[in-house]
């Protein structure tokens, strides 16, 4: 209703108006993009690994001294672990999801192919692996016990057959007919795909495996070396007990080993927390920055409006004398703030998109969803109205008699 006189009055307060509008614009640009990054971080760190983490425990074992052949030791340890009360199943492997270290390789569809068709993580597995991890087969079958062979460290794995994840299968064979087909893990000898599992994440959570984090290949090997990862499936509620009793059982069977104190026995909840610690820290830091920026902007609006109200006490009194109600004065300041806010928000939308485009080219960011910008714009306008309310209320309480008392 009174937009045009408010606008013309604002022309006499250019500096303050521009300051607040700029602050709103910058806040919008930064907050939109930051929230977008946070959302991506959160999506990243909450992606499923495909394994039944709540029931899984990893034990890292290192043999010390001269042992000769590790194969019987490994078999004995697995037998020991499977008999620990509370343990449902167990297997030994080179690496597990989220652990940060493991083997990766390129897969081809032809012998000695130039450049891989897909990258994949390699997990050593046996017939106990899928039941232990709780990973579901969607096609084909599991390994049989008699199909698992010993694989000394430092040798090139040439598996006769493999089980792969669905993500990898559709990368290799986009028509969904991977089962029974060949894939080249080794350059010259084909491996037959005998099974496809729904999901099994690679060990790496950082940028290294960003492009193939759901590509995993299970190979039917026991890793015969002096260090092993045991993965235990534990009954519900038994995690604490097994974490104490399982290492004891291993030591009782053979003392010539080291299970590191700090991370030798880790439930998967801890492995996950460690894997994403920096992602989560970054997301929290960014959220704190957002909140601080919003607080500073709100404080700026409160400050400037309070200053304006003080400066305009006399004219508020005059307006009241001329017939303005308290509501008229309140709505004057709310409208004024809304107009400044809309100016700032328009500029902010342009800035937000510009900032995002810059990050898209510089840091391989994704394109900012327009919904973020619009939601941010509405949120900032509401923030402005909230911030201006207290000073506007004070303005509405300036008595009309203020018009007559010239100090």
Partner 1 sequence: MLKMNHLSKVYRTEVVETYALRDFNIDVKEGEFVAVTGPSGSGKTTFLTIAGLLETFSGGEYHLDGIEVSQLNDNARSKIRNEKIGFIFQAFNLIPDLNVYDNIEVPLRYRGMKGAERKQRIMDSLERVGLSSRAKHYPAELSGGQQQRVAIARALAGSPRLLLADEPTGNLDTQMARGVLELIEDIHRDGATIVMVTHDPELAARAQRNVHIIDGQVVDLSEEPRFHSHPEETTQSQR
Binding site for partner 1 (CB under 8 A): 1-2, 5, 8-9, 12-13, 314-315, 318-328, 399-401, 403-404, 406
Which of residues 88 and 318 has its CB atom nearest to partner 1 in the complex? 318
Which of residues 4 and 114 has its CB atom nearest to partner 1 in the complex? 4
CA dihedral of residues 379, 335, 21, 298 (deg, nearest 10): -50
Residue 366 token pair: 């994704």
Give the span between the Cα atoms of 402 and 399, in whole angstroms: 6
Q: How far is the CB of 392 from partner 1 (least distance, A)?
A: 16
Give residue 70's Cα distance to chain centre: 39
Which of residues 94 and 335 has its CB atom nearest to partner 1 in the complex? 335
Q: How far is the CB of 2 from partner 1 (least distance, A)?
A: 6
Q: How far is the CB of 1 from partner 1 (least distance, A)?
A: 7
Which of residues 39 and 325 has its CB atom nearest to partner 1 in the complex? 325
Q: How far is the CB of 304 from partner 1 (least distance, A)?
A: 15
Give the span between the Cα atoms of 251 and 93, in whole angstroms: 19
- Residue 12, classified by CB atoms within 10 Å of its CB into exposed (0-12), middle (13-18) or buried (19+), is exposed
Is residue 196 within 8 A of residue 139, CB to CB? The reply is yes
Q: How far is the CB of 22 from partner 1 (least distance, A)?
A: 21
DSSP states of 166-193? HHHHHHH-TTS--TT-EEBSSSSS-EEE
Q: How far is the CB of 391 from partner 1 (least distance, A)?
A: 17
Helix (H) or strand (E) holding 41: helix 14-45
Neighbours of 350 (CB within 10 A): 14
Between vectors from CA 239 to CA 242 and to CA 225, what angle results, nearest 5°?
55
Which of residues 14 and 255 has its CB atom nearest to partner 1 in the complex? 14
Give residue 194's Cα distance to chain centre: 32
Which of residues 6 and 259 has its CB atom nearest to partner 1 in the complex? 6
Report phi then psi at 206, rounded to 5: -90, -160
Q: How far is the CB of 328 from partner 1 (least distance, A)?
A: 6
**Residues constituting the chain:** 407
Which of residues 79 and 401 has its CB atom nearest to partner 1 in the complex? 401
Q: How far is the CB of 367 from partner 1 (least distance, A)?
A: 43
> Across the strands, what pairs with 228?
61
Which of residues 46 and 315 has its CB atom nearest to partner 1 in the complex? 315
């Amino acid at each position: 209703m009174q937009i045009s006189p408010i606008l013309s009055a604002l022309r006499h307060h250019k500096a303050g108006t521009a300051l607040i509008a700029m602050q709103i614009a910058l806040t919008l640009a930064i907050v939109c993009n930051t929230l977008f990054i946070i959302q991506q971080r959160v999506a990243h760190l909450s992606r499923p690994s495909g394994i039944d983490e709540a029931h899984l425990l990893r034990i890292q074992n290192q043999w010390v001294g001269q042992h000769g052949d590790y194969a019987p030791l490994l078999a004995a340890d697995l037998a020991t672990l499977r008999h620990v009360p509370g343990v449902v199943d167990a297997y030994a492997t080179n690496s597990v999801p989220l652990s940060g270290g493991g083997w990766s390789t390129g897969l081809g569809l032809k012998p000695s192919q130039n450049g891989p068709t897909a990258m994949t993580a390699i997990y050593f597995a046996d017939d106990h692996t899928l039941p232990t991890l709780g990973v579901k087969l969607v096609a084909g079958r599991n390994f049989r016990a008699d199909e698992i062979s010993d694989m000394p460290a430092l040798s090139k794995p040439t598996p006769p057959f493999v089980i792969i994840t669905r993500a990898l299968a559709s990368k290799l064979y986009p028509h969904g007919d991977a089962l029974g087909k060949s894939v080249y893990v080794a350059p010259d000898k084909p491996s037959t795909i005998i099974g496809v599992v729904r999901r099994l994440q690679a060990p790496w959570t950082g940028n290294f495996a960003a492009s193939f984090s759901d590509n995993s290949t299970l190979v039917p090997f026991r890793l015969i070396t002096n260090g092993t990862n045991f993965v235990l499936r534990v009954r519900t509620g038994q995690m604490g007990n097994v974490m104490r009793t399982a290492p004891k059982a291993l030591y009782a069977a053979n003392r010539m080993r080291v299970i590191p104190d700090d991370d030798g026995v880790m439930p998967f909840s801890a492995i996950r927390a460690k894997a994403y610690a920096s992602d989560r820290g970054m997301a929290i830091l960014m959220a704190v920055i957002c909140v601080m920026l919003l607080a500073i902007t709100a404080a700026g609006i409160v400050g400037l409006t309070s200053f304006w109200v003080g400066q305009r006490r006399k004219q508020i009194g005059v307006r009241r004398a001329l017939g303005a109600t308290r509501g008229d004065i309140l709505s004057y300041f709310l409208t004024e703030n809304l107009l400044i806010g809309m100016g700032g928000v328009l500029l902010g939308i342009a800035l937000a998109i510009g900032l995002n485009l810059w990050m898209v080219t510089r840091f391989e960011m994704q394109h900012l969803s327009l919904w973020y910008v619009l939601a941010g714009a509405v949120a900032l306008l509401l923030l402005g109205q909230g911030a201006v309310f207290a000073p506007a209320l004070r303005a509405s309480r300036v008595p009309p008699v203020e018009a007559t008392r010239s100090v």
